[in-house]
Amino acid sequence: MNKTIFITGATSGFGKAIAEKFSSEGNHVIITGRREDRLKELESYLTNKFNIRVLSLAFDVQNRKKTFDVIQKLEGQWQQIDVLVNNAGLAAGRDLFDEASLDDWETMIDTNIKGVLYVTKALLPFLIRKKGHVINIGSTAAKEVYEKGNVYCASKSAVDSLSQSMRIDLLRHGLKVTAIHPGAAETEFSLVRLKGDAAAAKKVYEGFQPLSAQDVADVVYYCTTLPAHVCINDLVLTSTSQANSFYFQRTS
């Protein structure tokens, strides 16, 4: 395709798989995240394997000033951004509303909502110039609220409504806005949510085959291959063993 794709949260999971998928199809990628060592490793892997151009930018999407500084320093070809994938995000904790930590809530709000706002706003001048495509990663948690999901579900509902809002307000610029809502997928997501408890994280995916990061990357990529006049606005994907936030077909 020979486009340039800006991906947040490319050090792991969906973001890393999305970077690899677009690179394997001949696109250039800007990969971002907080863990610089992982970004550098991915940059060299993608550059060597696919012979495309890679720029890695280490920053925290919660930091408004840093996010704008980094993006406003983009030069030359790196301003020619065709697709933004707002993927960086997390769940912190899985607790009842009255027992949950305020710090966890703030981390989710600052990352999943404010992070999407900062990155999108900072990149919009470039995206508008190219009549680009914004892809926001929501979740089935945006569609059905579940017990102990409180602020995570709310943050993903915000991504859902902000995607609609972007689509409406940016219509006059000819931008595409796609919200993609995956169900359970085995990445580092549960390890992060459960604060490093690997055994508990593994249990989340027991007895059924969850989505993989590659499954999600393939769907994200597909949404960018449609003709200029066609836009997938809202897409929910789950493993065949999952119907929605509540119903799973487990073997054990």
Give the contact letters, 164-203, x = binds to ligand 8X3 (CB under 6 A), - = no. --------------------x----x--------------
For residues 101 and 195, is the Cβ–Cβ distance under 8 A?
no
Catalytic residue among 152, 205, 221, 247: 152
Residue 136 lies near ligand 8X3 (rule: CB under 6 A):
no
Q: How many residues does the chain have?
A: 252
Q: Which of 50, 105, 126, 189 binds ligand NDP (CB under 6 A)?
A: 189
Taking the alpha carbons at both ends of the chain, their separation in whole angstroms is: 43
Per DSSP (E only), the strands in 144-206 are: 176-182
Does position 217 bind ligand 8X3 by CB under 6 A? no
The answer to the question of residue 139 lying near ligand 8X3 (CB under 6 A) is yes
Clarify whether 152 is annotated catalytic.
yes
Q: Which residues pair with 56 in a beta bridge?
A: 31
Residue 108 binds ligand 8X3 (CB under 6 A): no
Q: Verify binding: residue 140, ligand 8X3, rule CB under 6 A.
A: yes
CB 23 within 8 A of CB 199: no
Match 């983009």 to its residue by tokens. Answer: 74
Positive/negative CA dihedral, 150, 154, 157, 159: negative
Residues in contact with ligand NDP by CB under 6 A are 8-15, 33-35, 60-62, 87-90, 111, 137, 139, 182, 184-185, 187-189, 192
